[in-house]
Structure 1
Amino acid sequence: MKIRFSASTHVGKVRKVNEDSILTMPEQGIWAVSDGMGGYSAGDFASQCVVDNIAMLPSGLPPGDLIRELRTAISRAHESILTEATNRGAGIIGATVVVLVVAEGHFAGFWAGDSRLYRLQSGSIELLTSDHSLVGALVEAGELTWDEAERHAQSNVVTRAVGVDGALELDKIRGEVFPGDRFLLCSDGLSKYANFSTLERVLRSEPIETVADTLQQIALDGGGADNISVIVIDVI
């Protein structure tokens, strides 16, 4: 398999600081998006802490070891953010995270919070993650669709994140990858402005060189009230 990708992160039109952080490590087959929370100088610290710990993973690890080390890296970030929050005495500091790993014809996705992983396969889009949020619970209960959840008044209330509360819980999904698969990782700064049909249309039509910028522009045109982070990965 060959991999191509494009990535973009933008502060948006309203906020003064970009509290999102992205990471692209194609040699190791790792991509990540982290969305910080906690306000100025706290949210950006938290998201950067997450991606920095992942970036320190050694190269050349077998897939099983890579997965274990990835979990350990995110757990280290969790503890570092908890310590920083205590030292600052500034209340909750945290960050969502979504990570994609591609190796040996398979993928694994890990996440905590409401940053998302989608896959476009055979022209159809699928959300591979499930938001850890108040509205995410309503979707899981069958009371809302994901598109309806984005318009809910409490759509920004996250129930799980790195650096928040006690032990860190990461959800995981895994499966095979096939030539033609296209993966999208994003923060909620994109998903709140781009519904499933919009994402499917763009992911089906845009080349890898421009797709991340096109998605970013959709969020900006929609209002850009949040930071926007996008990574698109093509399997060839």
Structure 2
Amino acid sequence: MEFLQDSIPMVSLAAAAAALYARASSSLLRPGFPRLVALLPLFPFLVAAPLAFTSSAIIRATIAFFLAWLCAFKLALLAAGRGPLDPALPVLTFLFTALLPVKLRQRRGGAGAGAAASTKASKPDLSLVSCAVKAAVIAVILRLYQFNNQLHLYVRLAVYGVLIYCFLDLFFPCIALAVGALGMETEPQFDRPYLASSLRDFWGRIDTTKSFAGPWNTR
């Protein structure tokens, strides 16, 4: 694993190779125990890959979220013949779905207002003012972390929550734009979760069952 040490390009290439192996092996094996056995060697890599980043806790946590959590569960669902992954998907579609926290929108036939509204709804909101505000908030919080030991526990937790939200609300639309540049559409991850009136409403607005394809999502 030394060749992966603190190298985002090398880890990305290794993860892509693992996803391509998963696609190839799954196309040859039926869902169930044989496919699970073929995919098992990938799980130790997905868990260990984030540990290659020793210089940055943020990068390590982000890679762990992508690979050790999301990708691992997606492959587990693939072994059972469920979830967002399918060996019949095109290579790029399979890679993006496996390695990134997105769910690609299924294109359906038909035109008109419904199709136009669907396309409009799938476009990420990346206004310059919103991005500038979130980037400024992140910069202030990172500066504030220098005085982490002097802050009350509840203040630290609140600040951490704001940091995670701003980071994800910037990061996910950027991913959606990159995917959209390749002609694919993604379903939105966020719907103003800060307006949630209950914990159930909060998770519904974040829409993890559709976008993240965690262990609770079967299709």
Higher RCO (CA < 8 A, seq sep 6+): 1
Normalised by the length of structure 1, the TM-score is 0.31
Larger Rg: 2
Greater strand proportion: 1
- Structure with greater helix share of residues: 2
TM-score w.r.t. the length of structure 2 is: 0.33
